[in-house]
Structure 1
Amino acid sequence: MGQNYGLGRGLSSLIPQKKISRDDNQVKTDFDFSKVKSLESAEDQPLEKKEETSVLAQGILEVELEKIKANPYQPRTDFDQDKLKELANSIKEHGILQPLVVTQNGDDYELIAGERRLQASKLAKLEKVPVIVKDVKEKEKLELAIIENIQRHNLNPIEEAQSFQQLMDEFQMNQEEVAQKMGKNRSVVANKVRLLKLPVEAMRALKEGVISEGHAKAILSLENQEKQ
């Protein structure tokens, strides 16, 4: 009789032994090979179209750059191209650190805040950008665009004056209300708006940086004296 290499009685009672039948040593031939064909055909199927919009984080989406349209109420008309290139290079290296603010407009989006980031993203040849989508009305777009530009970027004095005047005209605000909205003194708003009374040549010179705001105020004073 050969030596028994089975488990002892104690271990045998704890670990049940499987009874091996003759069929277990035979290769099963009842496998459904039709499944192999279905798997192969699945791999041959084209990939689904890449989503045009994806969620990056709560409240932040990533959308195709070409679907974002410029804000028609954008008060800034001139952008420093050198600074835009610097921002574009930064975006290439670090990405967009602050999402653009947009509103849904059909299948596209309309920019509310972030014009410089939008322009720089185009220079950086990005395909998608992070955005925060807000549901706003037409006049709210204007207010948000003006406030965002004045607070974040240096508008030239004429652009800033035009923005203040636009707030007063569109929202029936007085200078005091505009000052409170912008966190400025009323005198600051009043002096800016007065710049719109400059002669066209002087306004152009101030806008282009040929003369300073102090020079512009001196011109206004001279004109007032001549009228008197």
Structure 2
Amino acid sequence: MNNTKKGLGKGLGALIPQLEQAPDSGVLEIRIQEIIPNKNQPRKEFDEEKLQELSHSISQHGVIQPILVSKVQNGYEIIAGERRWRAAMKAGIKKIPVILKELSDEEKMEVALIENLQREDLNNLEEAQAYKEIMEKYELTQSQLAEKLGKSRVAIANTLRLLHLPEKIQDMIKENTLTAGHGRAVLSVPENLQEKLAQKIVEDNLSVREAEKIAQTLKEKEELKDPQDHPKVKDEGSDQDYILDLQERVQRHMGTKVKIKYKNSKGKIEIDYYSDDDLERIIRQLIE
């Protein structure tokens, strides 16, 4: 295993010095033009209105909380505090208070992600993409990442699932036209129905719960289209209701899409998974 992982997991408090610890906590003033953004910044979009509000506050009161930076070849790279830096630039501030901290690339990425998550600054797709990049770059499992971020593994898995949505629907989540909950409801229907459901959610201003109910109806209709798959279920309403009820209960328990194919009291159960970690989670649920 890659030894570069050892620096991860310290937590934000250990990586970012608290200013109240001591008067000589290492706060410096650096020319704002010497500072460059973090190349691994998980947040890709900054709310212009909120940025303008912060800029106005900074022009009146200055930058009260220093940003965290590390020394790089051509200046200083932001580890945490890019929003304050951008607002200070807008306000015409020439120098900005910083805390200089030497961190590995892994630690920089982790701090940038945690800072945004704690301030709820990331949209759901940015959060999912950041999870994916960290896991791939540093060979972390969902469980390891969940432990470092203080989240459940299921929460990490559910966020990552959003990356399986078509690009058009991902854009709707980025623009806050749909919520992450809506996105997960859309994911539960076949691909050929996903855009149709997303559009209906927007047009009818559906809640997540309403979207989930429609998704379940669409899935049931799709599954009953082929008479070869469900001859008995289709003919006998009581069996149909029973099988569909079982399917929904198993889905809720497993936390993923489940399909029960039924024919003459025999058939098979299909359980979807979206990563190696997701597969391990499902297997544990089945054997425990």
2:58 corresponds to 1:71: no
2:167 corresponds to 1:200: yes
Report the 3-state secondary structure (helix = DSSP H, G, I; strand = E; otherwise coil) of the residue aligned with 2:38: coil
2:122 corresponds to 1:155: yes
The amino acid across from 1:200 in the alignment is: E
C-alpha separation in 2, matches of 1:213 and 1:105: 37
What is the CA-CA distance between 1:57 and the residue it aligns to?
4.3
Partner of 1:145: 112
Report the 3-state secondary structure (helix = DSSP H, G, I; strand = E; otherwise coil) of the residue aligned with 1:110: strand
C-alpha separation in 2, matches of 1:161 and 1:207: 11
Gap runs ≥5 in structure 1: 1-55
What is the CA-CA distance between 1:93 and the residue it aligns to?
1.8
Q: TM-score, normalised by structure 2?
A: 0.57
2:152 corresponds to 1:185: yes
Contact 2:43 2:121 in 1 (8 A): no
Report the 3-state secondary structure (helix = DSSP H, G, I; strand = E; otherwise coil) of the residue aligned with 1:129: strand
Q: TM-score, normalised by structure 1?
A: 0.71
Between structures 1 and 2, the one with greater helix share: 2
The amino acid across from 1:85 in the alignment is: Q
Larger Rg: 1
The range that moved more, 196-205 or 178-187, is 178-187
Report the 3-state secondary structure (helix = DSSP H, G, I; strand = E; otherwise coil) of the residue aligned with 1:131: strand
Partner of 1:83: 50
Residue of 80, 89, 96 corresponding to 2:63: 96
Summarize the alignment of residues 1-228 of structure 1 with structure 2, pairs less than 5 Å apart: 57-106=24-73, 108-223=75-190, 225=219
C-alpha separation in 2, matches of 1:159 and 1:119: 19
Partner of 1:11: none
Q: Cα gap change, 1:98/1:153 in structure 2, threshold over 3 Å: closer, same or farther?
A: farther
Report the 3-state secondary structure (helix = DSSP H, G, I; strand = E; otherwise coil) of the residue aligned with 1:72: coil
What is the CA-CA distance between 1:161 and the residue it aligns to?
0.7
What is the CA-CA distance between 1:139 and the residue it aligns to?
2.7
The amino acid across from 1:124 in the alignment is: A
The amino acid across from 1:71 in the alignment is: N
Contact 2:134 2:140 in 1 (8 A): yes
Report the 3-state secondary structure (helix = DSSP H, G, I; strand = E; otherwise coil) of the residue aligned with 1:109: strand
Report the 3-state secondary structure (helix = DSSP H, G, I; strand = E; otherwise coil) of the residue aligned with 2:30: strand
Per chain length, whose mean CA-contact separation is higher, i.e. which structure has more relative contact order (CA < 8 Å, sep 6+)?
1
State the identity %: 42
C-alpha separation in 1, matches of 2:133 and 2:115: 14
C-alpha separation in 2, matches of 1:180 and 1:163: 16
What is the CA-CA distance between 1:106 and the residue it aligns to?
3.1
C-alpha separation in 2, matches of 1:76 and 1:114: 11
The amino acid across from 1:84 in the alignment is: L
The amino acid across from 2:188 in the alignment is: S
Report the 3-state secondary structure (helix = DSSP H, G, I; strand = E; otherwise coil) of the residue aligned with 2:170: helix
Report the 3-state secondary structure (helix = DSSP H, G, I; strand = E; otherwise coil) of the residue aligned with 2:129: helix
1:5-64, Cα deviation, whole Å (9 max, x unpaired) = xxxxxxxxxxxxxxxxxxxxxxxxxxxxxxxxxxxxxxxxxxxxxxxxxxx943110000
Report the 3-state secondary structure (helix = DSSP H, G, I; strand = E; otherwise coil) of the residue aligned with 1:153: coil
C-alpha separation in 2, matches of 1:223 and 1:133: 50
Report the 3-state secondary structure (helix = DSSP H, G, I; strand = E; otherwise coil) of the residue aligned with 1:61: strand
Q: Cα gap change, 1:171/1:66 in structure 2, threshold over 3 Å: closer, same or farther?
A: same
What is the CA-CA distance between 1:69 and the residue it aligns to?
0.6
Partner of 2:16: none
> How many residues in Structure 1 have an aligned counterpart in Structure 2?
173
The amino acid across from 1:75 in the alignment is: P
1:178-219, Cα deviation, whole Å (9 max, x unpaired) = 111111111111100000000111111111111122221111
